[in-house]
Structure 1
Amino acid sequence: MIRPFLLALAALPLAAAAVIGAGPVAAPAAAEAADPLAQVSAHLRAVNTMTAAFAQTDRNGKTLTGTLTLKRPGRIRFEYQKGVPLLVVGDGKALTMIDYQVKQVSRWPIGDSPLSVLLDPSRDLSRFAKVVPSGDPKLLLVQARDPKRPEFGTITIAFSRSPSAPAGLMLRGWTIVDAQNNRSTIELDSQAFNMPVADGAFRWTDPRPRGPRG
C-alpha cells in the first residue's frame, strides 16, 4: 500500500493559482515559446524553490490538504493537514514516506517515482515526455512515462501560461496514473517561487526509536 500511495501524489488542477513573492521573470525566448517542452524545461531550471498549498484527492474521492515545499534538485516535502499522521520527504536521493500512526518508514530512490520529472531539471524531457491536448490555449499539459519502467506509472503535468511566472509558466499540479490504473489528484495554490528554503525543511523524525533522520 505504501508505493501506490506515493505514486498517487498526482493532480490535474484547473483552479486559479496566485504567485506570492515571485519577483520579475523574463519572458521565455522565442525558441522556447515555440517549443513547449523547451519552455517547460526552462521553467524547471528557473525555479530553485517553491512552496504551495495542496489538496490531494484519492481515487475514492477523499481529499487531504497540506503544504508542499520543493527545493531542486531532488528535495520535496508533503506536510499533511493536522490530524493526518503521514509525511512524504525527498532528500535529494530518496523518497521517504513516514506513517506515524503505525510507526512505519518506507524509502526508495527518487528515480523510481514519476515525481523525478519535477525534481530533476537537468533531465531531457524530449526523451520521455510529450505535449498532450488540453482543449484550452492557456493550459499546457505534458505527459511523461518511462517505457522501460511502466510500473512507475504515467505523470501528466499541468501548467497555465502566465507572463509573470518563471519562464512564462505556472505549475498547477500533475496527474499520476499507476500501473493498476489508479488515479489521484493534487491541486496547487498560493505558489511562492525562489524564496529562501532551509535544508532543514527536508529533515524528518523517525517514529522508530532511532532519533532524527534527514
Structure 2
Amino acid sequence: MIRPFLFALAAAPLATAALIGANPLAAPAVAQATDPLGQVSAHLKSVNTMTASFAQTDRNGKTLTGTLTLKRPGRIRFQYQKGVPLLVVGDGKALTMIDYQVKQVSRWPIGDSPLSVLLNPSKDLSRFAKVVPSGDPKLLTVQARDPKRPEFGTITIVFSRSAAAPAGLMLRGWTVIDAQNNRSTIQLSNQAFNVAVSDKAFQWNDPRPRGPRG
C-alpha cells in the first residue's frame, strides 16, 4: 500500500532492486576518468529544479502514478493520481504527508528523510554513499546508508548516463527499504531539468479544521 512507502520516505534512505546500477570499471573511457560520486554530486549541484512523471510500486506489486516537482534546496512535491487522497510535500525544512481522507497531517525534518540525499546537494556523499556495481555501463547506482542512524534504512538511487543531462547523468529512480524491510520503488520518466517552478508548488491545503497552513 501507499502508506508504508510514505513512512519509508520519512524514515529510510533509498535503494533500487528493479533498477540496477553500473560498475564504473565497465563504463566507457570518459566515464572511467570521472569519480562516480563526484559526478553524482556535480549532477545534484547543477539541477536547481526538476519535474517528472513517476510510477511507484510497493512490495505487493501495486503501482500508483503521479507527478514529481523538485526545487533545491529542500523542496519536493509528490502529487498522486486522481483518486488517491494523499500528498507529500517538502518545504525546505520539513517533509509533510497530508491524508485528505482522514484529515491527518504528519511531519518530519527533511534531514530525517532519505530524500535529503536528493534535496541537499551540499551533502558529502563519500561519508555515507557508495557505488553499487553491475554489468550495465549505461547505469550508475549509488547506495546510501547512514551508519550512525541505521533505523533510517537504505537508499539506492539510479542514474543513466546521458550526455544531454546535467553533469552527464539522468535521474531514473530509486527504491526505499526501511528498517522493517518494507520496499517501494519509484521510477521516473519525462524528466525536465531547470525549468521554472513557482514556490507556490510546495504549498498545500490543510484538511484539519483549525490546523496551520503549509
Q: Tell me the TM-score normalised to structure 2 length.
A: 0.87
Q: Is the 8 A contact 1:69 1:76 kept in 2?
A: yes
Question: 1:89/1:69 Cα in 2 relative to 1: closer, same or farther (>3 Å)?
Answer: same
Percent identity between the two aligned chains:
81
Matches within 5 A, 1:199-214: 199-210=199-210, 213-214=213-214
Give, as a single letter, the amino acid of the residue that structure 2 aligns with 1:40: V
Q: Equivalent residues in 2 for 1:13-32 (5 A)?
A: 14=19
| 1:209 shift after superposition | 1.6
Shift of 1:77: 0.2
Name the SS for the 1:204 alignment partner: coil
Match of 1:198 in 2: 198
Q: Is the contact between residue 129 and residue 143 of structure 2 (CA under 8 Å) also seen in structure 1?
A: yes
Letter in 1 for 2:201: A
Q: How far, CA to CA, are the matches of 2:77 and 2:6 in structure 1?
A: 15
Q: Counterpart of 2:7 in structure 1: which amino acid?
A: L
In the alignment, which residue of structure 1 is the partner of 2:41? 41
Match of 1:158 in 2: 158
Runs of at least 5 residues in structure 1 that lack an aligned partner in the other structure: 15-29
Q: CA deviation at 1:113?
A: 1.0
Give yes or no for contact 1:130–1:144 (8 Å, CA) kept in 2. Answer: yes
Q: What is the CA RMSD across the aligned residues, in angstroms?
A: 2.2
Alignment length (residue pairs): 200
CA distance in 1, matches of 2:9, 2:183: 6
Normalization by structure 1: what TM-score? 0.87
- 2:8 paired residue number: 7
Q: Which runs of 5+ in 2 are unaligned?
A: 20-29
Instruction: Identify the residue that residue 174 of structure 1 maps to in structure 2.
Output: 174
Contact kept? 2:49, 2:194, Cα under 8 Å: yes
* Whole-angstrom CA distance in 2 between matches of 1:4 and 1:63: 11
Counterpart contact for 1:175–1:186, Cα < 8 Å: yes
User: What is the CA–CA distance in structure 1 between the aligned matches of 2:54 and 2:193, rounded to whole Å?
Assistant: 15
Note the C-alpha offset of 1:134.
2.5
**Residues 165, 122 of structure 1: alpha-carbon distance in 2 compared, 3 angstrom cutoff:** same
Post-superposition offset of 1:182? 1.2
Q: Residues 32, 73 of structure 1: CA spacing in aligned structure 2 closer, same or farther, 3 A cutoff?
A: farther
Residues 212 and 8 of structure 1: CA distance in aligned 2, closer, same or farther (over 3 Å): closer
